[in-house]
Amino acid sequence: MTQDLKDLNVITQARYQKAQAEMQAIQAEENKLRGLLSDLADQEKSSRDTMQTDATLRLTGGDLAWNNWIGRNRKILNQQLANVLVRKEMAFQELQKHFGKADVMEKLLKEAELTRLQTRRTQQVTSILETKLSFG
């Protein structure tokens, strides 16, 4: 039975590690999108002064085109971020589930090992007592 538990523990740990890796990949994707949104906000701030002082940009509609480009990209990045956050929530639930299973498996293995040790000690004590009684 102990070997079965050990085999099951290997599978459980592998699934838990896979769930962790998936969560890390999603977290990296979220960080990347948040960074891109931050860069976009920085570009918007830095261009604001240029747009106000450069009359040529305003006359040719460059300021409107720039603002439209910023808005479009912000919308796309926010939609992508929303999708990633949904995936992250689902991955988090999976991670919790696999963590729970891994935790239970560790406890079962510890209990099995304690039971094995107690049985062994009981057998040793019984053996010692039988030896003493037979020679005693």
Q: Answer with the residue of higher pLDDT: 52 or 81.
A: 81
Measure Cα distances from 95 to 25, 30, 89 in Å: 13, 17, 10
pTM for this model (two decimals): 0.75
pLDDT (mean) for 80-105 = 97
How does pLDDT run across 1-58, given as a tens digit for each residue? 678 888 999 999 999 999 999 999 999 999 999 999 999 999 999 888 777 777 777 7
The per-residue pLDDT for 101 is 95
pLDDT of 107 above 80: yes
How does pLDDT run across 62-79, given as a tens digit for each residue? 888 999 999 999 999 999
pLDDT of 108 above 70: yes
Strands (E), 95-135: none
Smallest Cα–Cα separation from 15: which of 89, 98, 107?
98
Distance CA 131, CA 104 (A): 40
Structure tokens at 114: 């304690």
Compute the mean pLDDT over every residue in the chain, rounded to the nearest whole number.
92
| Topology, domain 2-135 | Helix Hairpins (1.10.287)
The per-residue pLDDT for 128 is 85
